[in-house]
Amino acid sequence: MAQPSALAPVHRLVPSPAGRVHLVEQGEGPLVLLIHGFPESWYSWRRQLPVLADAGYRAVAVDVRGYGRSSRPDRVDAYRMLELVEDGVAVVEALGADHAMVVGHDWGAGIAAHSALVRPDVFRAVAMLSVPYAPRGGPRPSEVFAGTGGGPEEFYVSYFQEAGRAEAEIEPDVRGWLAGFYAALSADTMPGPDAPDPHLVTRGGRLRDRFPAGLPHWLSESELDVYAGEFERTGMRGALNRYRNMDRDWEDLAGFDGAALAQPSLFVGGTRDASTMWLSDAIDAFPKTLPGLVGSHLLDGAGHWIQQERADEVNRLLVEWLAVARSAP
């Protein structure tokens, strides 16, 4: 693994359509924008920033709208996908660049993919971690998720839809909830196949009732403090509002129905991540949906938080992909 970059990470605030975006940048060279997922922050990329900097890139990890020190608009519809794409464009412009390569994890993978889809002039290569690209199509997302679970159980995406509901569960003990959520989706701490599914909640119950105890290997107590401190300060509403715009996104993106991503692309997932299992058909469709695919990798035994669980492997794959992507016409 590369040694830490001599260039220290720098925190900055730059203007965005919602007000401001907080970012952390390290290194010099072609711009690489790193977009986190739920419930995380720029800090999710702490193991990538110095490695990408040492490889000759200007690595920039943002707090997505609603998180950390970035702006948190009150309106739920301010968190629709097209708004988040424009935040990324604003970051690129504020940093004095005209284009970037974009990398996303979890919801950040969706933001990265749609940034490349909607603004290919700005985002000329795209890497997705844990959540594969699946073109817009089919029924409304709310209709799909409403049928997941069934009976006395509700899928977590549906559980997150009603404003205030999940907040009431999480905010009284943010640190404990985050610890359980991270553990539930990590390969070394996730519940076994005979345990209740942590992606489901008993109607009238709480999601956390199915979380395991203990921290995954990739997360120390002090690192958990960083995540918890951010959400204790901001609350969870901005982060959860991403889930509350899925039907709006489906409407907004109607003109991109079935669209492929032509840019040089990369996918990295884990074999023990539910996202790669649920979306296996999307991975199988990559020859059609990602014609510029440079590599698709499923890391054996890895869970959902892949760039933190398996940092060395992910860093190697990112650097290899970036070398191809930066030389593409």
The pLDDT tens digits of the residues spanning 20-52 come to 999 999 999 999 999 999 999 999 999 999 999
Length of the chain: 329
Mean pLDDT by 10 residues, the chain (329 residues): 64 97 98 98 98 98 98 97 98 98 98 98 98 94 79 91 96 98 98 93 92 97 98 98 97 97 98 96 98 98 98 98 92
- Which amino acid, residue 298? L
Q: Is residue 87 part of a domain?
A: yes
The pLDDT of residue 6 is: 55
Residue 2 lies in a domain: no
Q: How many domains does the chain have?
A: 1
Contact predicate 124/328, CB 8 Å? yes
Active site residues: 106, 304
In a domain, 246, yes or no: yes
pLDDT at 2: 42
The H or E element spanning position 197 is: none
pLDDT given for residue 3 in this prediction: 44
Query: Is 1 among the domain residues?
Result: no
Cα 83 from Cα 7, distance rounded (Å): 32
Task: Indicate whether 5 belongs to any domain.
Answer: no
List Cβ<8 Å contacts ≥24 apart for 166-171. 166/207, 166/236, 166/240, 167/235, 167/236, 167/237, 167/240, 169/206, 169/207, 169/208, 170/208, 170/231, 170/236, 171/235, 171/236
Residue 145 in any domain: the answer is yes
Domain with 141, as residue range(s), is 10-326
pLDDT at residue number 159: 94
- The strand pairing partners of 295, in sequence order, are 266
Q: What does the block give as tokens for 205?
A: 């119950």
pLDDT of residue 149: 66
Taking residue 45's Cβ as centre, other Cβ atoms within 10 Å add up to: 28
- Within a domain: residue 137? yes
Residue at token pair 């119950």: 205
Is position 3 within any domain?
no
Residues 219 and 242: their CA atoms lie apart, in Å, by: 25
Q: What CATH number is given to the structural domain containing 156?
A: 3.40.50.1820
Q: Which helix (H) or strand (E) holds 125?
A: strand 123-129
Predicted local distance difference test score (pLDDT) of residue 146: 79
